[in-house]
């Protein structure tokens, strides 16, 4: 059994049984006959596998596949942007023009000093 999420985009008049039989190894099956609802679901709960019928209610299968790829790209992009942001913040601790630390650097240094003093029982 697979615990990964699976989503199947179908036409409103399509039976679910053939998909349920073929995908019985997946524990988490989600069926949708609305492309918009399915894409919103995938944005909040990424799917490991997506099956798309060629023509759904609001969108073609190709349009759904492209939107799915965009969701996956955004899902991978957010952590990368967060780590890049942390690196940029670390580089901005010293002002390159005057060589002095910024307020954030001063606060970090003060917090580090306070922690060291507290770890020694308040002895300076």
Spatial separation of the C-alpha atoms in residues 45 and 27, rounded to whole Å: 14
One pLDDT digit (tens) per residue for the chain, 124 residues: 566 666 777 777 788 888 788 777 777 888 888 888 888 888 888 777 787 776 676 888 888 888 888 888 877 777 877 887 777 776 666 666 777 767 777 788 889 989 888 888 876 6
pLDDT digits (tens, 9 = 90+) for 65-100: 888 888 888 777 778 778 877 777 766 666 667 777
**Count of CB atoms within 10 A of residue 97's CB?**
6
Fold of 2-90: Rossmann fold (3.40.50)
Q: Where are the domains of the chain?
A: 2-90, 92-124
Q: Write out the E strands in the chain.
A: 2-9, 26-32, 49-52
Spatial separation of the C-alpha atoms in residues 91 and 10, rounded to whole Å: 49
């Amino acid at each position: 059994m697979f615990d990964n999420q699976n989503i199947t985009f179908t036409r409103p008049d399509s039976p679910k049984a053939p998909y349920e039989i073929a995908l019985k190894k997946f524990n988490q099956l989600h069926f949708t006959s609305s492309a918009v609802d399915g894409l919103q679901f995938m944005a909040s709960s990424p799917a490991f596998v997506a099956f798309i019928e060629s023509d759904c209610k609001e969108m073609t299968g190709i349009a759904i596949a492209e939107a799915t790829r965009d969701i996956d790209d955004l899902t991978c992009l957010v952590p990368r942007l967060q780590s890049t942001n942390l690196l940029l913040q670390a580089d901005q601790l010293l002002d390159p023009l005057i060589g002095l630390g910024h307020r954030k650097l001063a606060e970090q240094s003060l917090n580090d000093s306070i922690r060291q003093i507290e770890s020694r029982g308040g002895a300076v």
